[in-house]
Amino acid sequence: MLPKFSRWLVSLIIVGGLFLGGCTSQEVASQSSENTSTTTPISVTQANNPQMNNLPRLEGKATVVMVVKGSPITIELDGTNAPVTAGNFVDLVQRGVYDGSVFHRVEKSPQPFVVQGGDPQSKDPNFRGQLGTGGFIDPETKQPRNIPLEIKPKGADTPVYSKTFESARISQPPELDHKRGAVAMARSMFPDSASSQFYFALSDINFLDGNYAVFGYVTQGMDVVDKIERGDKIESAKVTQGAENLKK
């Protein structure tokens, strides 16, 4: 067991590593909405959340194979418990958003934590800005695509959107937790700011449960994930099963 100081330091490093840089007016509005709510929310549905109307959804399971350093990483995506988050990821994989991008943050000490990638800016070898600040820009609308924070409490019928479990006053654990091999979305301090950046959990980091959206797990190739270093490239990412479950 880690000493209290070390545990606090570990938490600080991980949470800081998952935050994205910058914010938009949409994100500020999201933060304001979360901070002013004082009642336990009902899960938001697509019908009463306009932000979700045009987002892809995964209705069921899908499998993605990501190749890094010539070796495959197999990810099973759970659209049953995280339909919007998993659907967004599958859609971005099909668009080729991750092909050629690099892992810009790797946290392995003082113990294994996370590997984070998915910033489209990292595909440009001439980019000189700060990686970890970019997201997917929809080529049709020319606007950033952000998805709401989506976490389903264990035993619930539907996920809770746009709120952490703490702000929603939810005490039960999520259906999808941060065990080793979890795949989840990185975001800024504002709940509805996730876009394309994601991370692999290198160990059980359950103190993030209820704050970040897990949407799948590595089923094969965790040894490949363990060896990822900063700057390593995603050579390819392909949907190998369940593509028919993506609804746009």
On whether residue 10 sits in a domain, the answer given is no
How far apart are the C-alpha atoms of 111 and 213, rounded to whole Å? 22
Q: Which residues of the chain have pLDDT under 70?
A: 1-51
Looking at residue 55, its pLDDT comes to 96
* First-to-final CA distance of the chain: 46
What's the full length of the chain, in residues?
Answer: 248
Looking at residue 15, its pLDDT comes to 53
Looking at residue 20, its pLDDT comes to 54
Cis peptide before 173 (omega within 30 of 0): no
On whether residue 17 sits in a domain, the answer given is no
Looking at residue 21, its pLDDT comes to 45
Looking at residue 79, its pLDDT comes to 98
On whether residue 2 sits in a domain, the answer given is no
Q: Which domain does 90 fall in, by range?
A: 26-242
On whether residue 30 sits in a domain, the answer given is yes
Residues 93/64, Cβ–Cβ less than 8 Å: yes
On whether residue 201 sits in a domain, the answer given is yes
Looking at residue 53, its pLDDT comes to 73
Looking at residue 51, its pLDDT comes to 60
- Residue 143: Cβ-neighbour burial (10 angstroms; 0-12, 13-18, 19+): exposed
Domain count, the chain: 1
On whether residue 4 sits in a domain, the answer given is no
Looking at residue 54, its pLDDT comes to 86
Q: CATH number of the domain that 68 lies in?
A: 2.40.100.10
SS3 sequence, 187-198? CCCCHHHECCCE
Looking at residue 161, its pLDDT comes to 97
On whether residue 58 sits in a domain, the answer given is yes
